Structure 1
Amino acid sequence: MDHFVVEADRTAVGVAVRVPGGYRFFYSDPRFRILDGQVFRRVRNLAHKVGELAQKLTKAGRSQAAGSVTFH
């Protein structure tokens, strides 16, 4: 797959596009802007970072995302 939507707890937070060296993340949810433009070698690395950030946002009380990450 060359591109897909990235969701955290059933909320679209960005898209991932296949590029040389992995997948580049582009945010659609401003809370995930910190990851914008980063290239992740594997999809599971991207999922881990998105989930980690979603959990941090939840703990900080700024998000409903619980850290579950899906791709479409």
Structure 2
Amino acid sequence: MEKFVVEADKKVVGIAVRVPGGFRFMCSDPYFSSMDRKVFPRARALASSVAELARARRVHAATLH
């Protein structure tokens, strides 16, 4: 089984597991729950989506300070 840890901002946010049709993301960080169990066609698509959500979290956190 092909699997790998998914990180955002140097923190583990979940894992990805190879499934028919791509990679299934399983989150360990509640902030990424909107992506939980979603299948991405390629690892790069998963990484891009995680990075986009991580950027949104940083922007949101910056507006709170």
Relative to the length of structure 2, the TM-score reads 0.91
Q: Unpaired segments of 5 or more residues in structure 1?
A: 63-72
> Which structure's residues are more often helix, by fraction?
2
Structural RMSD (CA) = 1.3
1:47, 1:39 → 2: CA distance?
Answer: 12
Aligned residue for 2:26, secondary structure, equals strand
Equivalent pairs, count: 62
Alignment match, 2:9 = 9
- The AA in structure 2 aligned to 1:53 is L
Q: 1:14 corresponds to which letter in structure 2?
A: G
Counterpart of 2:27? 27
Distance 2:53 2:59 in 1: 10
What percent of counterpart residues are identical?
A: 53
Amino acid at match of 2:18: R
Cα separation, 1, equivalents of 2:55 and 2:44: 16
Query: How far apart in 2 are the matches of 1:2 and 1:35?
Result: 19
Unaligned regions of 5+ residues in structure 2, if any?
A: none
Distance 1:60 1:25 in 2: 23
